[in-house]
Amino acid sequence: MKNIYYVGSGELTFEVIEQIIDNNLKLDLAPEAKERILKCRDYLDQKIQSSDQPLYGITTGFGSLCNINVSSDELSTLQENLVKSHACSVGEEIRPVIVKLMMLLKAHALSLGHSGVQLITVQRILDFFNNDVMPIVYDRGSLGASGDLAPLANLFLPLIGVGDVYYKGKKCEAISVLDEFGWAPVKLKSKEGLALLNGTQFMSANGVYALLKAFKLSKKADLIAALSLEAFDGRIDPFMDCIQQIRPHKGQIETGEYFRKLLEGSEIISQPKKHLQDPYSFRCIPQVHGATKDAIRHAASVLLTEINSVTDNPTIFPDEDLIISGGNFHGQPLALVYDYLAIALAELGNISERRVAQLIMGLRGLPEFLVANPGLNSGFMIPQYTAASIVSQNKMYCYAASSDSIVSSNGQEDHVSMGANAAVKLYRIIDNLEHILAIELMNAAQGIDFRRPLKSSPLLEEFLYAYRKEVPFVKDDIVMYKEIHKTVAFLSRTKLK
DSSP code string of 54-80: --TTTTB-SGGGTTSB--GGGHHHHHH
CB neighbours of residue 71 within 10 Å: 9
CA-to-CA separations, 444 to 5, 51, 56, 352, 469, in angstroms, rounded: 42, 70, 60, 11, 16
pLDDT over threshold 60, residue 495: yes
pLDDT over threshold 70, residue 196: yes
pLDDT over threshold 60, residue 64: no
What are the E-state strand segments in 141-209?
164-167, 170-173
For the chain, give the mean pLDDT.
Answer: 94
Domain 206-493's class? mainly alpha
Average pLDDT rounded to a whole number, residues 275-294: 97
pLDDT over threshold 50, residue 381: yes
166 is catalytic: no
Range(s) for CATH 1.20.200.10 in the chain? 206-493
How does DSSP classify residue 410?
Answer: G
Does the predicted TM-score (pTM) go above 0.85?
yes
Average pLDDT rounded to a whole number, residues 199-214: 97
Range(s) for CATH 1.10.275.10 in the chain? 4-199
- The pLDDT, as a whole number, for residue 329 is 95
Q: How far apart are CA 126 and CA 32, in angstroms?
A: 16
Q: How far apart are CA 289 and CA 28, in angstroms?
A: 40
How does DSSP classify residue 414?
Answer: -
Beta carbons of 141 and 150 less than 8 angstroms apart:
yes
Longest dimension (CA), the chain: 87
Which is the catalytic residue, given 43, 56, 167, 209? 56
Average pLDDT rounded to a whole number, residues 182-209: 95
pLDDT over threshold 50, residue 66: yes
C-alpha triplet 225, 227, 229: angle, nearest 5°: 70
Beta carbons of 431 and 365 less than 8 angstroms apart:
no
Average pLDDT rounded to a whole number, residues 55-75: 67
pLDDT above 70: percentage of residues in the chain:
97
Over residues 213-226, the pLDDT tens digits come to 999 999 999 999 99
pLDDT band at 61 (very low <50, low <70, confident <90, very high): low
Multiple choice CATH, 4-199, 1.10.3720.10, 4.10.640.10, 1.10.10.10, 1.10.275.10: 1.10.275.10
Beta carbons of 225 and 34 less than 8 angstroms apart:
no
Average pLDDT rounded to a whole number, residues 485-489: 97
Lowest mean pLDDT among 110-114, 303-307, 372-376, 454-458: 372-376
What's the gap between Cα 457 and its chain centre? 33
pLDDT over threshold 80, residue 497: no
- The pLDDT, as a whole number, for residue 1 is 47
